[in-house]
Amino acid sequence: MDPIRIAVVGLGKIARDQHLPAIAGNGTFSLAATVSPHDHAIEGVPHLASLDALLAEGPAVDAVALCTPPQVRHDLAVAALKRGVHVFLEKPPGATLSEVAALQVRADRVGASLFAAWHARFAAGVAPARAWLAERRIDRVQVTWREDVRVWHPGQAWIWEPGGLGVFDPGINALSIVTHILPRPIFLKAATLTLPENRAAPIAAELHLLDTADAPITVDFDWRQTGPQLWDIIVETDAGTLRLSQGGAVLALPSGTEHGEDVEYAGLYSRFANLIRGGCSDVDTDPLRIVADAFLCGRRLTTQAFHD
């Protein structure tokens, strides 16, 4: 079977650190081209300044991985889907829920695969955590996602603009795990968003959610963390406490602790290949829906200006 010819659109840090190595390590794909109006090319790989140029001039591609900021991703996905090209959407899958729903309709119409790729769900501890929780009574959940924005997102102005999500850009990784591992649906009850006076997106957020059995879920996102960075999910159950740390890479159960290797993007590309070969899509928007609800009904506080 011929490899799936894929182009990577957007060559920022996530594309270079994660997407390109994952594609190189998966024999189902071949890197056909890269696209960016600003970033330099990869040696030996055709490089174009725009997706329109790639689709018009070649080389031919079967799929694209969209690694751009979310605010421009919809139009790029539309251009690809019009040609019947399969689309991998980095997280979050779009700037709005409605545009992602519209992309799903387009993908279904042309028979292309659309993949909303939540990489944190493929962290080593997530699948066994989901399995362990499946038959447990959930008593309460605490999510703490605190990191230093100057370390992880230096100079990324787009992330502070409408549609860029602010602290929810990393926080949505936690929500993607929680919505995946808990055995019942969850929904937002209240939120507080803290915005710097010179920015359009929050630097911190507190969420209060419930599952459909009324188990409370408390979420603490903050981009002002210095010192140790915290990416923890603690689930108290009738059988003891489960802890996912390091963004889902380490799972601690009452029976012991499991450490896994970084396989997130390898897992994503295996999933994308299976979707394409099977003629299917996977467009789960539950994590983005919770973020949208927080922006819809959350109380807003203003804090001091933030400067990189």
Residue among 13, 82, 91, 189 flagged as catalytic = 91
Q: Could you tell me if 142 and 179 are in contact, meaning their C-beta atoms sit under 8 angstroms apart?
A: no
Contact at 8 Å (CB) between 299 and 191?
yes
The DSSP secondary structure of the chain, one letter per residue, reads -PPEEEEEE--SHHIIIIIHHHHHT-TTEEEEEEE-SSSPPPTTS-EES-HHHHHHH----SEEEE-S-GGGHHHHHHHHHHTT-EEEEPSSS-SSHHHHHHHHHHHHHHT--EEE--GGGGSTTHHHHHHHHTTSPEEEEEEEEE-BHHHHSTT-GGGGSTTS-TTHHHHHHHHHHHHHHSSS-EEEEEEEEEEETT-SS-SEEEEEEEETT--EEEEEEESB--SS-EEEEEEEETTEEEEEEGGGTEEEETTEEEE----HHHHHHHHHHHHHHHT--B---HHHHHHHHHHHH-EEEEE-----
Question: What is the rounded CA–CA span in Å between residue 94 and residue 73?
Answer: 6
* Chain-centre distance for alpha carbon 240: 29
Of 95, 114, 94, nearest in space to 104 by CA? 114
Active site residue 91: yes
| 116, β-bridge pairs | 89
Looking at the annotation, which residues are catalytic?
91
